[in-house]
Amino acid sequence: MSLPVVAVFAALTACLFCGPPPCAAGRNEQLNYRPIIGVLAQENLPGDQSPHGSSYIAASYVKYLESAGARVVPIRINLTEEEYTKIFFSINGLLLPGGDVDIETSQFTRAAKIFYSLALKANDAGDYFPLWGTCQGFQQLSVITANKNLLTLTDTKAVTLPLTFTPAAKSSRLFQSFPKDLMQSLADENITSNFHMWSLSTQNYSRNAKLKKFYKVLSTNTDGKKEFISTMEAYRYPFYAVQWHPEKSPFEWINKSGMNHSTSAVRASFYTARFFVTEGNMVPLNVSLPWSGCFQHYLFVHFYFLQALLLNLIHLKC
Ligand SMILES: *[C@@H]1O[C@H](CO)[C@@H](O)[C@H](O)[C@H]1NC(C)=O
Ligand SMILES: *[C@@H]1O[C@H](CO)[C@@H](O)[C@H](O)[C@H]1NC(C)=O
Ligand SMILES: *[C@@H]1O[C@H](CO)[C@@H](O)[C@H](O)[C@H]1NC(C)=O
Ligand SMILES: *[C@@H]1O[C@H](CO)[C@@H](O)[C@H](O)[C@H]1NC(C)=O
Ligand SMILES: *[C@@H]1O[C@H](CO)[C@@H](O)[C@H](O)[C@H]1NC(C)=O
Ligand SMILES: *[C@@H]1O[C@H](CO)[C@@H](O)[C@H](O)[C@H]1NC(C)=O
């Protein structure tokens, strides 16, 4: 071994086996300035034009969270419950992305349910574990909470819409610290990207006791016929759901309707991401051994690059 290689090896060994490594410094801090947010992968669809492997994470969700200060780890589908539990205790929050899998029977759903139930338990026990659902993620959360699929078809496949805020929006955790002019833009301009066929109608939400008790509606929209919920947050848990796509404005550049890259659209994207990352700041990493935080960090970074480079798992998709 040449001298630099030995030095690197020695440094790495010291980090892994002798404490305390530089990255374990956050253990006793009240704020974790760069939280680790998991993004759940999902099955590729049979009709995918350019499949890379059998599952994927759209790159825009990773960029969206990283641009707001998070470290992101991909979470594979098809893992065991034990593996998901281990990951759960190593991350500070989870994002369920948009996509097009079956939200009752997919492996995506199976994993989402495991994390949802762990998040309920952790939050009940005084921990702080935030969940975020975008589009399919929104729908998935509604199906898990209601234990029933209450979605209905709407004509919202590629449209930009302004949000119709409810009176609760202003004092909500999600929107309360958004600048006033941004709230105005969200309310007036067609800047939220909608790419969904299915929606949770205000009617079905109102008629379902479980959903009504669990989520506070922050905004609605309509396709001209049916009113549906476009933003909601849980009353008692740090769970958030948007039927629209904040990650698309800055990070997806496909030439089709339903996209908007204006200043206010990009600002809205950043503020939602920054909000969620800040929610992930609330608890330090659960580090039980002096070196385990460091180890997990390298493990995840390694895992991330392996997936990105070797398996081409992370690619652009809507
Ligand atoms: C998950 O498991 C199913 C079979 O149960 C298999 O068809 C699929 O390829 C697996 N997906 C991944 C990403 O491993
Ligand atoms: C820390 O993680 C372990 C499992 O790795 C878990 O049993 C424990 O409850 C966690 N503690 C907190 C405070 O989350
Ligand atoms: C309500 O949910 C049912 C499924 O349980 C669905 O068939 C129906 O279309 C929904 N109605 C509305 C108005 O959302
Ligand atoms: C803008 O929003 C309005 C109100 O929802 C809608 O009627 C209109 O079609 C939208 N325009 C575009 C270009 O999406
Ligand atoms: C975007 O697509 C439209 C037609 O769908 C086309 O007229 C326009 O030139 C395209 N713009 C770019 C920048 O490719
Ligand atoms: C995007 O939204 C802005 C308002 O923020 C609007 O002026 C612009 O026309 C929209 N662009 C497209 C392509 O819809």
Least confident of 203-207, 227-231, 284-288: 284-288
Asked if pLDDT for residue 6 goes beyond 80, the answer is no
Q: Decide whether any atom of ligand 2 lies within 6 Å of the 85 Cβ.
A: no
* Residue 164 resides in a domain: yes
Its domain, for residue 72, covers: 36-315
For residue 213, the number of C-alpha atoms closer than 13 Å in the C-beta half-sphere is 5
Asked if 293 contacts 287 with a C-beta cutoff of 8 angstroms, the reply is: yes
* Residue 20 resides in a domain: no
Distance CA 45, CA 206 (A): 33
pLDDT tens digits, one per residue of 170-181: 999 999 999 999
- pLDDT, residue 240, reads 98
pLDDT higher at 184 or 301: 184
Name the closest-CA residue to atom 14, ligand 1. 78
Asked if pLDDT for residue 288 goes beyond 70, the answer is no
Asked if pLDDT for residue 23 goes beyond 50, the answer is no
Asked if 55 contacts 260 with a C-beta cutoff of 8 angstroms, the reply is: no
Asked if pLDDT for residue 193 goes beyond 50, the answer is yes
* Residue 69 resides in a domain: yes
- pLDDT, residue 31, reads 67
* Residue 9 resides in a domain: no
Q: Mutation test of ligand 2: which of 28, 84, 85, 89 has the most ligand atoms closer than 8 Å to its C-beta? A: 89
Annotated active-site positions, please? 135, 245
Q: Which residues have C-beta within 8 Å of that of residue 63, sequence separation ≥ 6?
A: 247, 250, 251
* Residue 269 resides in a domain: yes
pLDDT tens digits, one per residue of 225-272: 999 999 999 999 999 999 999 999 999 998 889 999 999 999 999 999
Count of structural domains, the chain: 1
- Partners of 43 in the beta sheet? 55
- pLDDT, residue 310, reads 37
pLDDT tens digits, one per residue of 147-175: 999 999 999 999 999 999 999 999 999 99
* Residue 298 resides in a domain: yes
The CATH number assigned to the domain holding 215 equals 3.40.50.880
- State the distance from the centre of ligand 2 to the C-alpha of 50, rounded, in angstroms: 40
Name the closest-CA residue to atom 6, ligand 2. 89
pTM confidence score? 0.81
* Residue 113 resides in a domain: yes
CA-nearest of 51, 41, 161 to 97 is 41
Q: Mutation test of ligand 6: which of 188, 262, 263 has the most ligand atoms closer than 8 Å to its C-beta? A: 262
